[in-house]
Amino acid sequence: MNFLTKKLKLTYIMISFLTLFVCTLFLDGYTVFRSEGENYFHIFLNGTPIGAVKDESTAEKLLVDARREIASQSDGIVFIDVDMSVQGEEVIWGRLDDEETLCRRMAEIMRGSIKETMHHSYTMKVNEYMVNLGSIDDVQELLQAAVDKYDTEGLFEVNLIGDPSRELGALTAQIVRREDDADENGMRYVAAGVESVVAQIGEEIYDSSEKDFDDFELGLKDVNFSEEVEIVEAYLPQSRLSTLEQAMDEVIKEQETVGEYTIVSGDTLSEIAIKVNIPLDKIVELNSDRLEDENSTIRVGDKLVITVPEPELSVERMEENYYEETYDAEIIYIENNDWYTNQTVVHQQPRAGFRKIVADVSYLNDKEVSREILKEEILMEAVPKIVERGTKIPPTYIKPISGGRQTSGFGPRKAPKKGASTYHKGVDWAVPTGTSVYASCGGTVAKAGWGSGYGYVVYIDHEDGRQTRYGHLSKVLVKSGQKVKQGERIALSGNTGVSTGPHLHFEILINGSQVNPLKYLN
């Protein structure tokens, strides 16, 4: 009895085990493997276990699919730190993970490992300036905003077209007039054949006839960018992209840039300030190396530093405008070949006139650059200013000594010794006795010898009516009436007359009065 019971129990256990084993083999995800070496592979992504697959090629395929899923969610190029490892083993049976689930797990881990995303973008270049925008629509809107700043009626639009002079994919900007002759169905009317010829002849006849002021079509006629605009596609990180608002601030708003103004005949600092629309004190500040104050001397041909507010992208435009205005007649100059260019005499004072005009006016941004008068009606004639002016270049003046330390300037001072003046009428440079003294400007020696308080002294008269004086000399090397050239040696420095030590005293006189020599030396 005991033997039979034991046998039944053993049979029951074996049947149960066999039933459980068979059922297990038919559960979802479990597979029976043949003994062929490694046949069960565990996937790890960046050190994180993902699941198991039947072969390594499946793992590689899933990685590609996960990458493709992430890329499909971005319009740029995504850089991800990915390290996938696969560990294989040999099993008789095992559970395989669903491939869709594995792909999703991979994508989740990869999203957390994104290093950088390079966004599809557009780089717009204007001269040396570049701005990066996230879409071609932003580029179009930016350029249109530059035009709309001056085209308040919306007559012109910006088109982006392929640039044949650049590499494939580059665009440039072209401003065109919007079509305004479409019919109610949106069709464009274009004159052709005989009709177009007749229309052209009619326009020429009309243009050649005398127009009245009411016949002109006033307003904006043409708009162009003054610089070449180049747009190219690029892939850039978000940190290098500008918003449309930022780009408008940088590209359209005026920025201060450094410019130069060349002084012309007749200029004064106050007139230059009006011309360039910059305060006079600002001009003096920008040119502190050459201008002391608003009364400083300026010379024709010299250049002044000025700030010129300009946007990165400049717009040229032409408008046809009507004006009622006062105007000045052009100055009439009488050339005098015996005078220097700094000598002028006004023979007739001007008087402004009044007129009505229609003109084609060209602008660069907000600055008028030219004006062509199409029709003019003078209501009151302007009287021109008549000026006689010299044509000869005036002589220049140089420092009359090499080196030396300035010990006394021009103007009030304490008397250095008894008998010395408290108002110094020249400039002193301390130099050793016997140092060569040179003619500051060519001319005729008016005096050479002893000059009381000057000690030994030389006076030279110059062609422009000025005179130079050189005092406290130890030796005079020229004589009265002698012609000397600029830079010619005329004396040796010394310590004669009313002097506190070896030095050269130098003066420049205009109309018999001493002036500050330092303002006239080149």
pLDDT in tens, 94-120: 788 888 888 888 888 888 877 767 788
Same domain, 125 and 243: yes
> How far is Cα 430 from Cα 500, in angstroms, rounded to an integer?
10
363 with 340, same domain: the answer is yes
Domain annotation covers residue 191: no
Q: Domain ends where: 369, 392, 415?
A: 392
Cα 517 to its chain centre, rounded Å, is 40
Within this chain, do residues 49 and 97 fall inside the same structural domain, yes or no? yes
CA distance 366 to 149: 10
pLDDT at 183: 45
- 237 and 285 both lie in a single domain: no
The CATH number for 360's domain is 3.10.350.10
User: In whole angstroms, what is the distance from residue 294 CA to residue 275 CA?
Assistant: 16
In a domain, 346, yes or no: yes
Contact 429, 407 (CB under 8 A): yes
Specify whether 47 is located in the same domain as 172: no
Give pLDDT, residue 290: 84
Q: pLDDT of 351-400, one tens digit each?
A: 999 999 999 999 999 888 899 999 999 999 999 999 999 988 889 999 99
Long-range contacts of 218-221 (CB under 8 A, 24+ apart): 218/319, 218/320, 218/321, 218/322, 218/358, 219/153, 219/155, 219/319, 219/320, 220/150, 220/151, 220/153, 220/155, 220/156, 220/317, 220/318, 220/319, 221/318, 221/319, 221/320, 221/360
One-letter amino acid at 472 equals H
107 with 157, same domain: the answer is no
H helix or E strand, kind and range, residue 282 = helix 280-286
* Domain-terminating residue out of 116, 136, 152: 116
pLDDT tens-digit profile, the chain (522 residues): 455 555 656 665 665 555 545 444 444 455 555 556 788 899 998 888 988 998 889 989 988 888 888 777 776 677 777 889 999 888 887 788 888 888 888 888 888 877 767 788 899 998 888 999 988 999 999 999 999 999 999 999 999 988 666 655 789 999 999 875 444 444 443 444 444 444 555 555 455 347 899 999 999 999 999 988 999 988 888 888 889 998 988 888 876 667 889 998 778 888 888 888 888 888 998 898 888 888 888 888 889 988 777 788 999 999 999 999 999 999 999 999 988 887 899 999 999 999 999 999 999 998 888 999 999 999 999 999 999 999 888 899 999 999 999 998 898 877 666 556 778 899 999 999 999 999 999 999 999 999 888 999 999 999 888 999 999 999 999 999 999 999 999 999 999 998 889 999 999 999 999 999 999 998
Looking at the domain assignment, is residue 188 inside a domain?
Answer: no
* The dihedral formed by the CA atoms of 288, 292, 294 and 296, expressed in degrees to the nearest 10: -110
Whether 41 contacts 54, CB under 8 Å = yes
Residue 369 lies in a domain: yes
Amino acid at 202: G
Out of 392, 415, 433, a domain closes at: 392
Let me know whether 511 and 498 are in one domain.
Answer: yes
Residues 443 and 476 in one domain: yes
CB atoms within 10 A of CB 447: 17
Q: How far apart are CA 192 and CA 198, in angstroms?
A: 10
Residue 210 lies in a domain: no
Q: Do 111 and 125 share a structural domain?
A: no
| Contact between residue 470 and residue 437 where contact means Cβ atoms under 8 Å apart | yes
| 242 and 158 in a common domain | yes
State the Cα–Cα distance between residues 381 and 135, nearest whole angstrom: 58
Q: Does 195 fall in a domain? A: no
In a domain, 144, yes or no: yes
> Which residue range forms the structural domain that includes residue 344?
258-392
Residues 373 and 389: beta-carbon distance below 8 Å: no
H helix intervals, 287-340: none
* Number of independent structural domains in the chain: 4
Tell me, yes or no, whether 381 and 445 share the same domain.
no
Phi/psi region, residue 463 (left: phi>0; alpha: psi -120 to 50; beta: rest), is alpha
Per the domain annotation, does 204 fall within a domain? no
Same domain flag for 97 and 62 = yes
| CATH code of residue 514 | 2.70.70.10
What gap in Å lies between CA 273 and CA 446, rounded to an integer? 42
Contacts 24+ apart (CB under 8 A), 212-217: 213/322, 213/356, 213/358, 213/375, 213/377, 216/320, 216/322, 216/358, 216/374, 216/375, 217/320
